Structure formats: structure tokens, C-alpha cells
Structure 1
């Protein structure tokens, strides 16, 4: 008595892989830009509110740390969802404009949102913009993957 293994045909074609539709790609990219802009606005205001935080009258730099973490996350999200390097520019511009507005425009009472003696806020603006710039610089230095044709 011999036991025979079932015969399988290796000549069967593999199921075709569907490419994502162009419309879905546009929706994802647009949604990524919108979400990254909203996140940039929210994190910018959160960072502005954290900048005058003090413990025992001494300013702490928690806003600077929050800025670095948030801007790296924003950069990664924007580039990943858009799929292009230019996706980083939109949240970077929005975040920077909010910071410039906060530092340079007076309220109706004549006050600035960020005063010149708030070193935490000034460092936060510098480090936040540098975080975007360093992320972009690293993307520029990264070589695109080589595709075989």
C-alpha cells in the first residue's frame, strides 16, 4: 500500500495585486495635511501656554521639551501621510507663523503673548523651528530608494 501526496499545481498564477486608486491616495494626502495643520495649531497653543510655567517662582523648560517631541511627531506624521518631503513645510509654516504672531503682535491691552524676558518661550521658538529644520535636513540627506526596473 502506497500513500500518495496530493498533487498541487505550481503553475497557478498568483492573485493580482491591486494598486490603490488615485482618488484614495489624494484623500489620504489631503487628510494628512489637514490633520498635521490642526495638530500644529493645537501643539503651538499648548506650548505657548506651557512657556510661562514656573515652580517656586523659577521657570521650568517643559515647553521646550514638549516642542521638540511634538514637532518631531508632526514632521514624521506629515511626511508619512503625504508621502513627499514637501508635506513637512505646511505644518512648519503654520507653527512658525503662530509663534511669530504670539511674539510680535500686541493684545488690545498692549501686552505681548510672549514677552522678551521669557527665556523659555524664546528658546522654545528657536528649538521648535530648528527641530523642523533638522528633520527636513535629514530627509534631504537620505537617499531615495533605488528601484529595479
Structure 2
């Protein structure tokens, strides 16, 4: 017995919410330092999160469109964090070593999302059950 459309939609919504929360946490991890040394945890989390959440969204919903949503959500959060707010706040900066980590976060995160979406979209569709044609 396959899950109902409401169950699949709810599971897809949970994956999108998880993608949103993970993207926000990744942005706030960008300046993470341990003992004065910048630790690029957010870069690893962006790559792993985008690869896994796109695949998970496709698996739980069975929809290719729903599989794209975690990648789109990640991109929206990352771009929004790199735009200066009216108060002057800027989360993704571009100076010094932190600028290189931020650039790696954006580039590798987008590449991982594009790769994951490409794998989902390029996968063969499962055959629909068709009645056997007899002659």
C-alpha cells in the first residue's frame, strides 16, 4: 500500500522546513572559530545537506518538482544572507580568510544543489503499470 498524497505532501513539507533550518544554521556557522582558527563547518554542511535533502525530498514525495524545493530554499537563504539589510547587517561578508570560506560556502553549496537536482531530474522515471496488450 502506497502512502496517501497528504502523507507525501506532509513529508515533503518537513524536508523543506529542515532545509530552511539547516541553511540558516549554516549561514550562522560561517564565522565559527575554534581557538582563533576559522573552521569551515558550514561548507561541509552545505554540500552534505544539499546532496541529502534533495534526494530525501524526491524519495519521500516521489515528485521531481518537490525534490528541487530544498535546493531552491537553500539558495534563497544564502542569497538573502549575502544582501545588506536596511539596518546595515550583513551575514556573508567578503573580506580576508573569512571571505574565502564564504565564497566556498556559496559556490560549493550551489554546485552540490545543482548536482543533486541534476541526478534527480536525469533519473529514469518508473514505468507506469500498463495493461498487457494481447493480439
TM-score calculated relative to the size of structure 2: 0.81
Over 3 Å counting, the alpha-carbon distance change for 1:105 and 1:30 in structure 2 is farther
Of residues 100, 116, 130 in structure 2, which corresponds to 1:119?
100
Task: For 1:26 and 1:105, locate their aligned partners in 2 and report how far apart those are by CA, in whole Å.
Answer: 40
Distance in 1 between residues matched to 2:126 and 2:67, nearest whole Å? 19
SS of the counterpart of 1:104?
Answer: coil
Which 4+ stretches in 1 moved above 6 angstroms?
A: none
- Structure label with greater radius of gyration: 1
Question: Which residue, out of 53, 59, 65, partners 1:86?
Answer: 65
Q: Does the aligned pair in 1 maintain the 2:58–2:120 contact within 8 Å?
A: no
Cα separation, 2, equivalents of 1:106 and 1:82: 35
Q: CA deviation at 1:101?
A: 0.7
2:16 pairs with one of 37, 40, 59? 37
Which residue of structure 1 aligns with residue 27 of structure 2? 48
Report the aligned-residue RMSD: 2.0
**Partner residue, 1:134:** 115
Structure 2 residue 63 is the aligned partner of structure 1 residue 62 = no
Q: Write 1 or 2 for the structure with the bigger share of helix.
A: 2
Give the gaps of 5 or more residues in structure 1.
1-18
C-alpha distance after superposition, 1:106-128 (max 9, x if no partner): 251x1311111232122112211
Any stretches of 5+ residues in structure 2 without a counterpart? none
Please report how far the alpha carbon of residue 79 of structure 1 lies from its aligned counterpart in structure 2 after TM superposition.
0.4
User: How far 1:146 sits from its partner (Å)?
Assistant: 4.6
For residue 81 of structure 2, what is the aligned residue in structure 1? Answer: 102
